[in-house]
Amino acid sequence: MMQHLKNGTIQQFLSSDPSGRQYLDVIRELMECQEHISAEGLSMINSISAKLHHISEIIELQQRFMGELGTENMVQLGNILDASVVIFEESFNKRNVTISQDINRELPEVLIDSSVIMQVFINIFKNAVEAISEENSSNKKYNIFLSAKKALLEGKNYVVIAIRDNGPGVPDEIKKKIFDFGFSTKKNDGRASHGVGLHFCVNSVAKYGGRMELDSKQGEGAEFRVILPLPDTKEGLPGVA
């Protein structure tokens, strides 16, 4: 090759000489490999950047809404629901779950511990995603629908937060005990996991004079409702566990 370079016939070497043609093949493969690595590396950098941005969002939201536990403030529940969606966004995206919503942005504020009610929403999301992951049907487009509306119940004003998924639903025998302490349908390493999430939710909502409800038919998804009194309502709802 050096002789060809000295004689100024590198073009002939690369085009005609068998060894020269091999150089071109190697260079071409290296360039293709480099392009592939660069694209993959760029994709990885973009992915890391997006994850860091998401983590930053979560930290900001936690600082804004999840203050010191036990601190109660007047809050707009729609905003807490929005923040909970952002925190759980990565889990939704991994499972191709879309979010749709109908939230009344004019709802009155309620006096509540933001960190507690946010954890209630996140626990409901967690249960929905776990049910969807377990079913994992390739023929179904999974969706979680959120709504927040004012409702007149038993002559009093309440806000009703509904979180509905189109997953596998909840069997009747499980619905009866899904809010019980220690109840869980999941298994970890052959041992039953300790179900405290929904029990925590129902007790937390009851503390503020509200209740939780579940509507579900097996195979048709599930809807959890968080019902909380608005400021002009002093008494709680009957039937809170």
Task: Tell me the DSSP string of 213-224.
Answer: EEEE-TTS-EEE
CB atoms within 10 A of CB 83: 22
C-alpha dihedral, 137 to 141 to 144 to 149, nearest 10°: -140
In contact, 147 and 130? CB cutoff 8 Å = no
Residue 70 confidence (pLDDT): 64
Type of residue at 15: S
Residue 127, pLDDT above cutoff 80: yes
CB atoms within 10 A of CB 31: 10
User: Domain residue spans in the chain?
Assistant: 2-49, 73-229
Summarize pLDDT for 130-156 with one digit per residue, the tens.
888 888 888 889 999 999 999 998 889
Residue 140 confidence (pLDDT): 85
Q: What angle do CA 165, 183, 142 make, to 5 degrees?
A: 15
Type of residue at 219: G
| DSSP 8-state secondary structure symbol assigned to residue 68 | S
Percent of the chain having pLDDT more than 90? Answer: 26
In whole angstroms, what is the distance from residue 57 CA to residue 14 CA? 55
Residue 181 confidence (pLDDT): 72
Summarize pLDDT for 169-210 with one digit per residue, the tens.
988 888 888 888 766 666 443 333 334 678 889 999 999 999
pTM: 0.66
- Across the range 92-109, mean pLDDT stands at 90
Q: CB-hemisphere CA count at 13 Å for 102?
A: 7
Residue 220 confidence (pLDDT): 87
In whole angstroms, what is the distance from residue 38 CA to residue 32 CA? 10
Summarize pLDDT for 7-19 with one digit per residue, the tens.
545 555 555 666 6
Output 1 or 213, whichever has higher pLDDT: 213
Nearest to 20 by CA among 32, 35, 4, 36: 4
Residue 180 confidence (pLDDT): 81
Q: 73-229 — its CATH code?
A: 3.30.565.10
Instruction: Give the range with max mean pLDDT: 3-12, 52-61, 113-122.
Output: 113-122
In whole angstroms, what is the distance from residue 198 CA to residue 222 CA? 14
In contact, 68 and 120? CB cutoff 8 Å = no
Residue 64 confidence (pLDDT): 56
| Residues contacting residue 186 through CB under 8 Å, at least 6 positions apart | 130, 192, 193, 195
